[in-house]
């Protein structure tokens, strides 16, 4: 197939597949490949530099098979490029063919749990996550219809987002620690997967240094800090949350696929 590749393509790959990457680069015009510096772990500080690099390219080519097939970063980069409307292609190291990608991006479902006193900041955060990073955010101020049973609507919202492979994000603060609604929402998230203490579908995004609740000490719960180091911008901190959520949702999606294939 003859392809009119974009002028500059982001090459998405596992660095353990460097030999295959070099095969791909050898097939491309000199001005097409862009290779981002290596990132080792999903919880390293990424800020928005990786996303900026993808957006500055006209398209993306990712490696199929090998370690790249298992790489979270390849999934993240491909997914973000698809959502950003970039031209996305795959490279098959066996056939040495470059083909248009026809797959769907991840389902980025998130339930926002927060104290009403933090409402203004949370709305700014969720607007960024939705408009700039393509998450499907469930938030009470937009997703509960007038006249609905409030508690029932919250429970349904949590269950629906988690069933899709998503997460409840508890925006934790001194105010949230005193909120009965936040406490109830976390309990609902736990009850959605009562038999799995190591893979609970909620995450704490800490807005201040308030200690996490003692009730979650038995669970393996990830946390992201959205306060503190003044050298980081708000966007950089939020992109740490973005990367962590992508990683968790990607991991859960892969697990669901394996379970379904085994049935």
Domain at 80, CATH number: 3.40.50
Phi and psi angles of residue 172, each rounded to the nearest 5 degrees, phi first: -95, 135
* Torsion of Cα atoms, 186 then 189 then 190 then 194, to 10°: 160
- Alpha-carbon distances, residue 48 vs 33, 51, 109 (angstroms): 20, 5, 21
Confidence of residue 114 (pLDDT cuts 50, 70, 90): very high
Burial class (CB in 10 A: 0-12, 13-18, 19+), 85: exposed
Separation CA 185–CA 67 (nearest Å): 38
What is the residue-averaged pLDDT of the chain?
Answer: 87
Question: Quick one: 115 and 165 in the same domain?
Answer: yes
- Alpha-carbon distances, residue 230 vs 225, 234, 236 (angstroms): 12, 9, 11
On the question of pLDDT at 45 being above 80, the answer is no
SS3 50: helix
Residue 197, pLDDT score: 64
Question: Quick one: 65 and 147 in the same domain?
Answer: no
Q: Pick the closest to residue 24 from 52, 66, 76, 75 (CA basis).
A: 66
* Boundary residue ending a domain (100, 130, 158): 100
Q: In what order do the strands lie in the sheet with 223-225?
A: 136-138, 109-113, 167-172, 202-206, 223-225
Q: Pick the closest to residue 93 from 13, 10, 182, 9 (CA basis).
A: 13
Residue 92, pLDDT score: 94
Do residues 71 and 55 touch, judged by C-beta distance below 8 A? Answer: no
Question: Quick one: 141 and 237 in the same domain?
Answer: yes
Number of domains in the chain: 2
In a domain? residue 4: no
Do residues 204 and 223 touch, judged by C-beta distance below 8 A? Answer: yes
Residue 134, pLDDT score: 92
Residue 262, pLDDT score: 43
Question: Quick one: 28 and 46 in the same domain?
Answer: yes
Residue 198, pLDDT score: 66
Domain residue limits at 47: 9-100
pLDDT digits (tens, 9 = 90+) for 198-210: 678 899 999 999 9
Do residues 94 and 162 touch, judged by C-beta distance below 8 A? Answer: no
Do residues 175 and 147 touch, judged by C-beta distance below 8 A? Answer: no
In a domain? residue 57: yes
Confidence of residue 216 (pLDDT cuts 50, 70, 90): confident
Residue 60, pLDDT score: 97
Do residues 13 and 20 touch, judged by C-beta distance below 8 A? Answer: yes
Question: Quick one: 94 and 189 in the same domain?
Answer: no
Whole-number CA gyration radius for the chain: 20
Residue 261, pLDDT score: 46
Question: Quick one: 166 and 56 in the same domain?
Answer: no
On the question of pLDDT at 43 being above 70, the answer is no
In a domain? residue 2: no
pLDDT digits (tens, 9 = 90+) for 222-241: 899 999 867 777 888 888 89
Question: Quick one: 142 and 176 in the same domain?
Answer: yes
Residue 67, pLDDT score: 94
Confidence of residue 129 (pLDDT cuts 50, 70, 90): very high
Residue 260, pLDDT score: 46
Question: Quick one: 43 and 156 in the same domain?
Answer: no
pLDDT digits (tens, 9 = 90+) for 168-200: 999 999 999 999 999 999 999 988 876 766 678
The percentage of residues in the chain with a pLDDT greater than 90, rounded to a whole number, is 57
Q: Which helix (H) or strand (E) holds 201?
A: none
Higher pLDDT among residues 230 and 132, named by residue: 132
**pTM metric for this prediction:** 0.83
Question: Quick one: 169 and 114 in the same domain?
Answer: yes
């Amino acid at each position: 197939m003859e392809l009119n590749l974009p002028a500059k393509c982001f090459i998405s790959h596992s660095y353990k597949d460097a030999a295959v990457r070099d095969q791909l680069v050898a097939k491309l015009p000199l001005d097409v490949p862009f290779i981002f510096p290596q990132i080792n772990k999903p919880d390293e500080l990424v800020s928005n530099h990786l996303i900026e690099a993808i957006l500055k390219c006209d398209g993306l080519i990712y490696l199929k098979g090998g370690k790249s097939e298992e790489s979270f970063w390849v999934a993240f980069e491909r997914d973000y490029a698809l959502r950003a409307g970039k031209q996305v292609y795959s490279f098959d190291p066996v056939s040495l063919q470059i083909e248009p990608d026809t797959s769907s991006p991840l389902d980025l479902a998130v339930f926002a749990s927060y104290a009403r006193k933090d409402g203004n900041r949370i709305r700014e955060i969720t607007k960024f996550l939705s408009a700039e990073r393509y998450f499907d955010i469930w938030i009470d101020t937009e997703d509960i219809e007038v006249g609905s049973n409030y508690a029932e609507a919250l429970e349904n919202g949590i269950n629906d987002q988690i069933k899709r492979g998503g997460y409840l994000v508890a925006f934790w603060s001194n105010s949230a620690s005193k909120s009965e609604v936040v406490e109830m929402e976390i309990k609902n998230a736990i009850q959605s997967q009562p038999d799995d203490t190591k893979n609970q579908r909620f995450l704490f995004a800490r807005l201040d240094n308030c200690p996490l609740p003692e009730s979650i000490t038995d669970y393996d719960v990830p946390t992201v800090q959205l306060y503190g180091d003044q050298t980081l911008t708000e966007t950089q901190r939020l992109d740490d949350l973005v990367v962590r959520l992508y990683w968790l949702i990607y991991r859960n999606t892969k697990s669901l696929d394996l379970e379904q294939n085994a049935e």
